[in-house]
Amino acid sequence: MTRIQSPAALEEIRKDILAHRDPQKPCIILCSGSACLASRSKEVAESLEAEIEKQGLTAAVDIKKTGCHGFCERGPIMIILPEDICYVQIVPEDIPEIISRTIKEKQVIERLLYTDPATGEKITYESDIPFYKHQERLVFGANRRIDPKNIEDYLAIGGYSALPKALSQMTPEQVLGEVKKANLRGRGGGGFPAGRKWEECRNAPGDIKYVIVNADEGDPGAYKDRSLLEGNPHLILEGLMIGGYAIGAHQGYIYVRQEYPLAVDNVTIAIKQAEQYGLLGNNILGSGFDFTVKVHKGAGAFVSGESSALMTALEGRVGEPRPKYIHTAIKGVWDRPSDLNNVETWANVPLIINNGADWFTGMGTEGSKGTKIFSLVGKINNTGLVEVPMGVTLRDIIFTIGGGIPKEKKFKAVQTGGPSGGCLPEERLDTQVDFDELTNAGSMMGSGGMIIMDEDTCMVDVARYFLEFLTGESCGKCVPCREGIRQMLKILTNITRGKGKEGDIELLEEMAEVLKTAALCALGRTAPNPVLSTIHYFKDEYEAHIREKKCPAYSCKELIAYYIDPEKCQACMLCAKKCPVDAISGGKNLIHIIDQETCTKCETCYDACPPRFKAIRKISGEPVPPPVPEEARTITRRSKKDE
């Protein structure tokens, strides 16, 4: 590949790529993102390749292995073009039938289609599936159309058209002006206007400046940045280059977690391809603009996602934060002006340049424009990545797109913002997805984790969980964070173990205030949020733990017991056989009894008891009834006829 010298030459190449592609040629698209790979997508791909060869269709059918499509609940997902048929939960054994019936005979295989759980209706096309239908997939939607390892796919869908537009038709000031006008706010959590950060960095003194992609996505339960970087790396690169041009930076970094090996691979390949095409390097598209990009792998530290810590890590030192009296936009990596934005923020830049700020601000609310991607996970029917316009309510995301709560359980809370965010209850479900609205409600936008909790989730335990996470991730540099989180965790652990005492809640609130005020970086300053929001909305649960030694969600191990109801037990032996510690006594026709001393509360018996008996129940806050006396243990079995 010779380097492309001008925007016109790039358009020629794009035309040439499109001319060699036949939109009517059958193409099998297989989601090969990390989540689908965990669901055997790789085996499906192998069997697909083998079967196509076996049936002599190698020249007649294309296979495209793409990044994440988002509907992880039903992965691996397959789409068949040109008809656009969508099959879900494909296993390798399905492949021969797909090739013979769908590819050769053009028939739809009913059993592989998505079934709407509400209506029982089979849905043929992705766009009709409720999970997709109510989304606005502007940033994320391209994932399903491209092989992330092939730059031609990105060019074919109009990729790298914003870059030449910026370089040849706009001055850096105009690019900056457009991003400012779009009011693009940081998608990493804080929501700081990207344009203002760019401007500060652009105006900072110094010739050498850096632009950085923050792909150190560490929030437990969030994986949208990974899926973007894995599935559409050129989009991120293009955004970064445009940012570099506007700011006056010639070096970009991509800081990505080493735990995301596929993202590291795909973005590394993308950089190499962009260099070969002349989209990176010196004198890009004949514009005189030089730009290079390096990938830096993070070695696993949540705090390294904080801007100053990340920049320290880029210098090869331990990624600890530092005070930011001077913004990193002025003194960042090696004390040079450095602009850091989240993956999703960069991904929005080419869209804004292509379509204009007015188009972008046409979506969303007063203060939050465009769309936002969330990983919708936890106790939710449709786990996956969703992209919605700002302003959509939490209720719409959870119930219309997410399909509600599984097993007919009751919704309890939605957690956004990861360890820095909060939990919102039912009465806040009409809160709009908006940076300021979510903060006002006591949570935050965060980097896109949206974890759904049902009646079985203990809110005190959720607060404890986040603090436990943060004690492990606090770098220990400042005392309020190192000691404060640890002491708050101790109190919360005591509460969940039935050792809470009066005054604990007030003490937690007091310590939270100190942390919020005195911690060095955002990790510490926002650490109390999960505690404060759960105290605010679920104080009764805290009080039940402290006063009645009761876990209302029957979740805290130390506060619950498993009990076999002698009236319901049918002495089927299932639970007794499965108990890993042999805590269940009983035999044929003998009512089973759990030895409370031996029981480790692993819940195996609870899961094992057939639903038609439902003989095992959880008890909390009250004593376990004494075991049935020996003479009353024998039961007269109901005969099969009676059932």
Q: Which letter does DSSP use for residue 105 in this model?
A: S
Instruction: Tell me if 142 contacts other proteins by CB under 8 A.
Output: no
Among 132, 223, 245, 435, binds other proteins (CB under 8 A): 223
**8 Å CB contact between 245 and 172:** yes
Of 264, 239, 263, the C-alpha closest to 252 is: 239
Whole-angstrom distance, CA of residue 530 vs CA of residue 392: 23
Using the minimum distance from each CB to other proteins, give the nearer residue, 463 or 615.
463
Angle at 274 between CA 273 and CA 276, to 5 degrees: 65
**8 Å CB contact between 230 and 270:** no
How many positions of this chain bind other proteins (CB under 8 A)? 58
Whole-angstrom distance, CA of residue 302 vs CA of residue 521: 12
Instruction: Tell me if 318 contacts other proteins by CB under 8 A.
Output: yes
Encoded tokens for 288: 């005189």
Using the minimum distance from each CB to other proteins, give the nearer residue, 136 or 259.
259
Instruction: Tell me if 379 contacts other proteins by CB under 8 A.
Output: yes
Instruction: Tell me if 404 contacts other proteins by CB under 8 A.
Output: no
Using the minimum distance from each CB to other proteins, give the nearer residue, 154 or 374.
374
Q: Closest separation between CB of residue 603 and other proteins, Å? A: 6
**8 Å CB contact between 265 and 230:** no
| Residue 588 backbone dihedrals phi, psi, to 5 degrees | -60, 130
- x/- mask, other proteins, residues 535-574, rule CB under 8 A, reads ----------------------x-----------------
Angle at 169 between CA 167 and CA 175, to 5 degrees: 65
Whole-angstrom distance, CA of residue 603 vs CA of residue 579: 9
Instruction: Tell me if 393 contacts other proteins by CB under 8 A.
Output: no
Q: Which residues of 179-203 are buried (b: 16+ CB within 10 A; e: fewer)?
A: bbbbbbbbbbbbbebbbebbbbbbe
- x/- mask, other proteins, residues 23-52, rule CB under 8 A, reads -----------xx--xx-------------
- x/- mask, other proteins, residues 235-264, rule CB under 8 A, reads -----------------------xxx----
Using the minimum distance from each CB to other proteins, give the nearer residue, 137 or 257.
257
Using the minimum distance from each CB to other proteins, give the nearer residue, 222 or 520.
222
Of 369, 233, 240, 257, the C-alpha closest to 319 is: 257
- Interface with other proteins in residues 576-635 (CB under 8 A): 578, 580, 600-604, 607-608
Q: Closest separation between CB of residue 470 and other proteins, Å? A: 11
Using the minimum distance from each CB to other proteins, give the nearer residue, 368 or 447.
447
Q: Which H or E run includes 440? A: helix 435-441
Q: Closest separation between CB of residue 395 and other proteins, Å? A: 19
Q: Closest separation between CB of residue 176 and other proteins, Å? A: 29
Using the minimum distance from each CB to other proteins, give the nearer residue, 363 or 574.
574
> CA of 283: how far to CAs of 77, 329, 588, in Å?
41, 25, 83
Instruction: Tell me if 56 contacts other proteins by CB under 8 A.
Output: no
Whole-angstrom distance, CA of residue 107 vs CA of residue 155: 32
Using the minimum distance from each CB to other proteins, give the nearer residue, 8 or 299.
299
Site of interaction with other proteins (CB under 8 A): 34-35, 38-39, 72-73, 75, 218-223, 226, 258-260, 296-297, 299-302, 313-319, 375, 377-379, 383-384, 415, 418, 449, 451, 453-454, 457, 462, 465-466, 469, 475, 557, 578, 580, 600-604, 607-608
